[in-house]
Amino acid sequence: MTRLIPFIILAIVLVVGYFVYRSYSANKALETRLEERFVKPYMALVSAGKEAEAYRRFTSEKFKRQYPLEVYLESYRRIRDEKGSVNYTGFQIEQQSKSLVDGSEVLQIGVRCTLKKNAKQYYLQMAFQLAEQPDSTYLIDNSFSRNPEGFNGPW
C-alpha cells in the first residue's frame, strides 16, 4: 500500500495540473477575444475623442438609462481638460460570474490608462462591468473608478 502513495500523489498532481491548464487556456482565449472585440475598439474611440460613438456602440441599455450621454461625455471632457487625453495601456479580468437571472456571463475588467498634459503623466484604472449579449459580444453595464482626484466616471 505504501508503494502506491507516490503514484496516487502523482495522479492527483496531474489531474489538478490539467484542470489548471484548461482554466488558464480558457481565460487567455477570453482575454484575447475581449481585447480584440471590446477593449481596443472602445479605447481607440475614447482616445480619438469619439466618446459619443463609444457610448452608442459599447454601452448597454441599462447603462444608458443610468448614465445619459451628457453625463458620460462630461466625465471624459473633465478628465481630458484637467489631465489630458486618455490612452489605453492594458487590461485584466478582475472577476467572472454567471447571472442567476438568465445565465449570461458577467465580467468585471480593469482597464489601465495614462493621461498626459503639460509634461505630467497620470495613471488611471477604470473598472467596467460587462454583460454578455445574445450575440456573444459584451457591452458596458456599469463603470467606475475610485481615485483621490475625484475622476470616478462614468466611463
The mean per-residue pLDDT over the stretch 13-29 comes to 59
Assess whether pLDDT exceeds 70 at residue 24. no
pLDDT tens digits for 103-126? 767 789 999 988 888 888 888 888
The mean per-residue pLDDT over the stretch 3-7 comes to 75
- The residue behind cell 467596467 is 128
**Confidence label for 61 from pLDDT (cuts 50, 70 and 90):** very high
Q: Which of 29, 17, 35 is nearest to 110 (CA)?
A: 35
pTM: 0.76
Crossing angle, helix 40-47 and helix 51-58, to 10 degrees? 160
E strand residue ranges, the chain: 85-98, 105-117, 120-132, 138-144
Distance CA 66, CA 57 (A): 16
Assess whether pLDDT exceeds 80 at residue 6. no
Cα torsion through 70, 67, 51, 43, rounded to 10 = 160
Q: Which of 87, 89, 53 is nearest to 72 (CA)?
A: 53
Distance CA 106, CA 94 (A): 11
Q: What is the pLDDT of residue 146?
A: 62
Per the document, the length of the chain is 155
For residue 119, give the C-alpha cell: 509634461
Domains and CATH numbers, the chain: 5-144 (3.10.450.100)
**Mean pLDDT computed over every residue of the chain:** 83
